[in-house]
Amino acid sequence: MKLAVVGSGYVGLVAGLCFAELGHDVTIVDNDPEKISLLQQGQLPIHEEFLAELLTCKRDAGKVKFTASIAEALEDCCVIFVAVGTPPKENGEADLSFIEEVVRTIAQHALGYVVIVEKSTVPVLTHAWIRKIMALNGAAHDSFDVVSNPEFLREGTAVLDFLYPDRIVIGADTERSANLVSEIYLPLTSGEYHSRKTALPAPNSAIVPSNLIVTSAKSAELIKHASNAFLATKISFINAVASICESVGADVQEVCKGMGADARIGSRFLNPGIGYGGSCFPKDLTAFRSVAHESGYEFALLDQVISINEQQRARFLRKIRQALWNLKNKRLAVLGLAFKGGTDDIRESPALEIVKSLVEEGAVVTAFDPAAMERTKAELGDSINYVDSAYAACEEADALLILTDWAEFAQLDLKRLKEMLRYPIIVDGRNLYDPAAMKDAGIQYYSVGRPAVVQSSKTLKATAAKTTT
């Protein structure tokens, strides 16, 4: 089929290139001329595994093209996915002005029947507003349909999440539009794509063929917000449990193992740390809370989820002070700036917020991130130092802070780290290491929800002698 995708951010670009991977002819639209020019040259504006390979392959094969014109995209397609931003307003509501602008343009340029597919995360009843905007701009009621097709992509694994999804949700109020959008995903729901020799490798937990769930548009819109709110709740819950573990001397990893073994709970997202971030959870929680309020329900649970997440950053800063006492003029090595490993996205990154707090307290920060350095430079400028490796960040630092869960940060040479650090102190906000290994390496180790590893006075004296020498 011939499809259009409006928006070339994390969702739109991944969706567009993955649709091309399934065999469709895709036109990706964006109103940023620089971004379009970059994509036309085969360059990516974001970091995401497998995306560069897809862009090169599909662009060279003519399966994907890029334009700044929605009218051009509509010339030869009848399904258009809208994946533009829905940033939060000051009151927490989602700003839908970008969607409205796109819908007005569609109404003005659609040449025949068209299906408008909500790919952006939007509040419930947005589909009804889209219908109103189309009608107000002259579109006949039977010349279009609106479908909700929420995305469930995780940054860092978004391509495989798209091609091997837990579920595909299609919220449609007409059989015609439901069938049309279902046909787009047929290579996944039939298993045909997964049987191809050229298919990207399936993750261990892949469900093949993919599960298709057809609902009303209202239900589909709610599924997305409710899913993200529940996952954020799970993260905040285990972080609250981690705080209790620290108070009583228990090990949160052991608690997680015992909880996760319960099939009703599961182990996914039971990962204590410095809190959730990114472009989805913070924005979607406040938007969902606003939707609930407008519907006459005060969703107090979401207030607590948000509060716990904010408190987690403050607790981690106290942990750093516990390890170092004063932070002024302390040289700190920071590993990780993105909100999670596998991406260059720093939006609402708890790592970045902690770094800002450290700088405000007078610490000298030297940071490394495999992908998010350039975006951080645009945000923080020269308020911190940037280096090109994890070890370079640790040179003569008073302590090492691990703030993002990049896989490579879990495989560092502890002996080498101890030799490079001025003091053998590591504060791990992602629990990447076994405390027993840190004890054997002679490192003072502070993590989340686990007892601190405090070295013997003999070990500390040996370190002090090395430092003065």
- Active site residue ranges: 280
Q: What are phi and psi of 275, to 5 degrees?
A: 105, 160
The 3-state DSSP class for residue 217 equals helix
Phi-psi region of 452 (alpha: psi -120 to 50; beta: other; left: phi over 0): beta
According to DSSP, residue 430 is labeled S
Which two tokens mark 158? Answer: 């978004």
Q: Which CA distances in Å does 317 have to 3, 326, 380, 448?
A: 48, 11, 19, 12
The upper half-sphere exposure of residue 140, i.e. CA atoms within 13 Å in the direction of its Cβ, equals: 5
Count other Cβ atoms within 10 Å, centred on residue 412. 18
The edge-to-edge listing of strands for the beta sheet with 212-215 is 64-67, 25-29, 2-6, 79-82, 114-118, 144-148, 168-172, 212-215
- Under a CB-based contact definition with an 8 Å cutoff, are residues 337 and 376 in contact? yes
- Under a CB-based contact definition with an 8 Å cutoff, are residues 342 and 157 in contact? yes
Whole-number Å distance between alpha carbons of 119 and 12 = 8
Whole-number Å distance between alpha carbons of 434 and 113 = 59
Residue-wise burial string across 134-150, b where 16 or more C-beta atoms lie within 10 A, e elsewhere: beeeebeeeebbbbbbb
Q: Which of 205, 118, 199, 213 is nearest to 163 (CA)?
A: 199
- Under a CB-based contact definition with an 8 Å cutoff, are residues 408 and 402 in contact? no
66: which strand partners?
A: 28
User: Where is 104: in which H helix or E strand?
Assistant: helix 97-109
Cβ-based burial of 61 (10 A; exposed 0-12, middle 13-18, buried ≥19): exposed
Count other Cβ atoms within 10 Å, centred on residue 360. 10
User: Locate tokens 């610490």: which residue?
Assistant: 363
